[in-house]
Structure 1
Amino acid sequence: MRGKRSALLAGVAAAALALAVEPVAAQSTTANLINELNAKLLYVAIPITLVTEVVLFYTVYKYRKSDAPKPTKENRRLEITWTVATAIILLFVGVASYGVLADPAVTYTPDMGDPMDDEDAVVVDVEAYQWGWTFGYPQAEGNVTTSTEIAVPKDRVVYFRITSSDVLHAFAVPELGLKQDAIPGQTNTIRTTPLENGQYQGYCTEYCGVAHSQMYFNVTVMDQGDYETWLQEQQSSGSSGGNQSSGNASAGNASAGNASAGNASALLAAQSA
C-alpha cells in the first residue's frame, strides 16, 4: 500500500512539474510542431519513468534481505492492465507523431504541388558543393544569389529547394527546425514559416570532405519591408558586378577546398610512403 501511494505521488508530482514548465517560444512553424510533439511525449514519459523507478526501488528495498525468494504468482488482472496501458500509450505516440510528420511544415512531398505556384510564398534554391553554398531567389528580378546568407521575411511561407552539385550534403538550421539532405541529381523541398526576427545559424550536417566544418551560413528573418529592401540591394549590387564578385568568392572557396583536398592527399601519400 505504501509503495502504491509513493508511485501515485511521484506521478502527480511529475505531471505538475511538466505542466509548470513554460514552453519556449518557437522561431518557426516547423520548430513549433516539433517542440509540441516533444513536450507531449515528455508528459507521458516522465510519469512512466518515475513510477517504474519507484516500484523498482521499493521492490529492491523490501526484498533486500530475502534469502528464500518465492516464485511470482500469476496475476491476470495486472497483466491485462499493463498490456492495455502500453497499447494506449503506443497508440497515443503513433497518432501524435503521425500528425506532426504528415504536416507540410515538417514533411513536404512533390504531390503537394510546385512551390513556384504559391504566389504568396518565398522560394529559395539551395545548392551545396564542396565546400560551400549557393542560395538563389528565382522569384526575384535579376540574378539574386548569395553564398553565406539567406534572408527571408517573417510570417510568410518559405520553401527551400535543396540539391547538391557533387557529393551528399545536408542543409540544417536547428533553431528553425529545418534539416534536409542535399543529394546530387535530386531536389528535396522543405517548407516553413518563420515567426521570430533574428539571425539563425545553419550548416552542413553530412560529412562531405576535409573542409566540411567550414560550411556555415546564416538565415536572417526580417520584416517584409526590410526583406524587400534587402532584395533591392542585392539586385543593385548584382547589376554593378556584385554577382561576379560573389561568383569569384565561390570560386575562391572551391579553390581553397581543392587546395585542402590536395594537402590531405599529399599527407596520406607521405604517410603511406
Structure 2
Amino acid sequence: MGLELFARGKRAQDERRRPVRSKALGLGFAVAAIVLLSGCSPDDPSAWGRLALPPGASDRVDAMFVLWVGAWIAAAVVMVLVLGLMFWAMVRYRRRPGNEVPTQLRYHLPLEVLYTVAPVIIVAIFFAQTVTSQNEMLEKVDDPDHTITVVGSKWQFTFNYLGEEATAGEDVFDFGDTSDPTELWLPVDESVRFDLVSPDVIHSFWIPEFYFKLDIIPGKTNSFDVTPTREGVFTGRCAELCGLYHTRMIFKVHVVSRDEYDAHLQELQAAGQIGQPEGGAEATRIAGLAEAQNAENGENE
C-alpha cells in the first residue's frame, strides 16, 4: 500500500514538473532563435547569414534588413510557441491505458481572448515596423547628384539620363527590347533620383541588391532616391505581372566609377540617343516573332 501511494505521488510530481520543463524548453528555443537571427547581417558572405537575401548594394539596405530580420524573429517565436503547445498538449493529455479521455472544452473565454488579442498585437507590431522602414526607404535627398526617368513599357525599360555634366546638360537615353535588354549605368557612392512612369500598364522597378522596388503606374509619377554603395553588375527586373512577356522584362545594372559612368553617357550622346522618349522604339517587338512570321509567309508563298 505504501509503495503504491509513493508511486502515485511520484507520478503526480512528475506531471506537475512536465509543463514547467516544456515551457522552459520552448522559451529556450525562442531565445536561441532571437539570438541567432539578431546576429545576421546584409554583409555576411554566407546566404544563411543574410537570411537568403542577396548581398546589399545601396544605402537603403539597413532599413529593409531590420524589417526582414524582425519578420523572421517573429515567425520563429510564433512557430516555437505554437509547436511547443501542440506537442505539450499531445504528450500531457495523451490517453493512457485505463484512463478516461481528457475533458473536452467547448468554450474557454481566456483562450478565445488570447487567440484574438495575440494576432492583433503581432499585426500591430509588424505594421509599426513596416511604416518605420518604409519612411526610411522613401526618404528623399535634398539635392540628388543624378536624375533618371525610368519608362516601363511592354516589355522593356527605357532610361532617360537628365541634365548630366558629361553631356553638357543634354538629356540622353538608352533602350532595349526583349531580345536585347536595356542596360542601366549608375555611379557608385553618388545619389540618384529615379522618376518612374509608364505609357501602358502597371510595371514594377526592382533591383534585388538595392533591397527596394516600386511600382510604375500609368498616369502617376512615383519616385525614390538611392545611393549605390558597391560596384558590380546586377540584374534588375519587373516585379509586377504586366502581360504575356513579363518574364523577358529584365535589364542589367552596371554600378561603376564616375569616369566610366560619364564615358557611357557620352557614348549614348555620340550614338544620337538624345532626348526623353516615352518608351523604347523596339519596346513592343517580341524576340523571334518577326522571324517566325517571315518564315511562315515564305512557306505560304
State TM-score, norm by structure 2: 0.68
Change (3 A) 1:166 1:23: closer
Change (3 A) 1:96 1:233: same
1:40 & 1:194 partners in 2: Cα distance?
Answer: 24
Larger Rg, first or second structure (1 or 2): 2
How far did 1:57 drift? 0.6
How far did 1:60 drift? 0.7
- Stretches of structure 2 that go unaligned for 5 or more consecutive residues are 1-19, 44-54, 176-181, 294-301
1:16-64, CA deviations, whole angstroms, 9 ceiling, x for partnerless residues? 3223444445211333321211112222331232122122112112222
SS at match of 2:101: coil
How far did 1:199 drift? 1.5
Change (3 A) 1:217 1:68: same
Change (3 A) 1:256 1:16: closer
How far did 1:155 drift? 2.0
Tell me the residue number matched to 2:179: none
Tell me the residue number matched to 1:157: 191
Change (3 A) 1:227 1:10: same
Tell me the residue number matched to 1:142: 170
Hey, which of these two has a bigger chunk of helix by percent?
1
Tell me the residue number matched to 2:35: 16
Q: Do 1:170 and 1:205's aligned partners in 2 also have CA atoms closer than 8 Å?
A: yes
Tell me the residue number matched to 1:268: none
Q: Do 1:29 and 1:193's aligned partners in 2 also have CA atoms closer than 8 Å?
A: yes
Identity among equivalent positions (%) equals 28
1:207 & 1:194 partners in 2: Cα distance?
Answer: 26
| Residue correspondence of structure 1 range 183-202 to structure 2 within 5 A | 183-202=217-236
Matching of residue 170 in structure 1 with residue 204 in structure 2: yes
- Stretches of structure 1 that go unaligned for 5 or more consecutive residues are 264-273
1:53 & 1:33 partners in 2: Cα distance?
Answer: 31
2:126 & 2:267 partners in 1: Cα distance?
Answer: 48
State TM-score, norm by structure 1: 0.74
Count of aligned pairs between the two proteins: 245
Change (3 A) 1:92 1:58: same
1:139 & 1:214 partners in 2: Cα distance?
Answer: 30
Of residues 100, 116, 123, the one that matches 2:133 is 100
1:80-99, CA deviations, whole angstroms, 9 ceiling, x for partnerless residues? 88988766655533332221
Tell me the residue number matched to 1:218: 252
Let me know the Cα RMSD of the aligned residues. Answer: 3.3
Matching of residue 234 in structure 1 with residue 268 in structure 2: yes
